[in-house]
Amino acid sequence: MTFAVAGVTGNTGRVVAETLLAAGQPVRVIVRDREKAASFVARGAEVAVADLSDRDALTNALVGTRAAYLLVPTEYGPAPGYVRRTRAFIEAIVAAVVDARPGHTVVLSSIGANMHSGTGPIKYLHELEEALRTRASTPVTALRAAYFIENFAQALPMLGEGVLQTFLPAGLEVPMASTADIGRQAAALMLEAPPRAFATVEIARDAVTPNDIARAFASLLGRAITVRAAPLEALVPAMTSMGIHEELAEHYREMTQALITQSFEPDASARRVASTTPIETVLTGLLHADHVFASTGDSRVLAIDKDTGEAVTVGDVPGELPWRVAVDETHVYWTFADSGDVWSAPKP
């Protein structure tokens, strides 16, 4: 029986699929555009074309699978309706799991998903977990990830000025995890014997502060890096200036406030595993490209030469904020947060 994996052009799903393929397992990748799966097809993967909001297509993608890895996409951009779209994804995912009955479903969740309010977008992962807990008749594991270390990619454009820009206080201890560790843990859960019913697994490393991140960047770059913590009230204006709708920006403000006030309640019932990839390894990956990239309020993308500081407009972002950038000899490839869509532009 095969393993179904969604989000393979994004951070965690890509690692899940690569880990399973490396172990010689049959993999079915779930993508909206078949062309985006070419690299996985070359390694022997099967392709299922399905939008994660399309119940019927997703059900077909999950039928006959030994295990499935699923996640709720976040659509960044200026359009309203974030909550409505998120709940549509949740309903389609839950219905597909109920209908298709995969042998084991591993769903990406978040630390804090045991709370029903006060956590910004995480509260919808609480809704997802509860729906799967009560409606799914097959085993489900919610993999609750800590704060992504890769979130500090947003700080790259300011490192040239010796500044790590963040909305978190410099000394705030935050549970964090690397997306590579999250993906590998998800694959491990899929290969294990499934739980008898619904289970939760939290993945995090020892708490990390923005000061720790700044010191790691400083070591890698060979220059002093100082944390510059912006006030929380500046978060929504900053996000809306980058083209994100205020509805979603306000959810991120609420989540950030919960981090700052350390309002997340522990869940004694969750199994805990460690994220072990060194911080420096994660940050080295973020620094690998020749250019760092920034999104402007009018949805342009700027490529900033890390040596000269020169900024070049490389294209327009089609309605989403970027998450991860790869660069080859000729092009910039931008993988959008969670949705996995890939946009490209000629390299400056």
Considering the chain, what is the average pLDDT of its residues? 87
Q: Give the torsion sign (CA, 82, 83, 84, 88).
A: positive
Q: What is the pLDDT of residues 86-131, one digit of tens each?
A: 999 999 999 999 999 999 999 999 999 999 999 999 999 999 999 9
Does 22 score more than 90 pLDDT? yes
Q: Which fold has domain 2-148+175-204?
A: Rossmann fold (3.40.50)
For residue 48, give both structure tokens. 């299922």
Q: Give the torsion sign (CA, 162, 181, 67, 131).
A: negative
Crossing angle for the helix pair 179-191 and 11-22, to the nearest 10 degrees: 50
For residue 8, give both structure tokens. 């393979």
Q: What value does the CA radius of gyration of the chain take, rounded to a whole number of Å?
A: 19
Listed residue (15, 10, 16, 12) closest to 32, CA to CA: 10
In this structure, which amino acid lies at residue 130?
A: E
Q: How confident is the model at residue 297 (pLDDT cuts 50, 70, 90)?
A: very low
Q: What is the pLDDT of residues 223-273, one digit of tens each?
A: 899 999 999 999 999 888 878 899 999 999 999 999 999 999 999 999 999
DSSP assignment of 120-141 equals: TTHHHHHHHHHHHHHH-SS-EE
For residues 300-326, give the mean pLDDT: 50
For residue 16, give both structure tokens. 């899940």
Boundaries of every domain in the chain: 2-148+175-204
Q: Determine contact, residues 28/61, Cβ cutoff 8 Å.
A: yes
Main-chain phi, psi angles of 50, to 5 degrees: -160, 135
For residues 36-47, give the mean pLDDT: 94
Does 287 score more than 90 pLDDT? no
Predicted pLDDT of residue 242: 77
> What distance in Å separates the CA atoms of residue 332 and residue 347, rounded to the nearest whole number?
5
Predicted pLDDT of residue 346: 53
Q: What is the pLDDT of residues 140-155, one digit of tens each?
A: 999 999 999 999 988 8
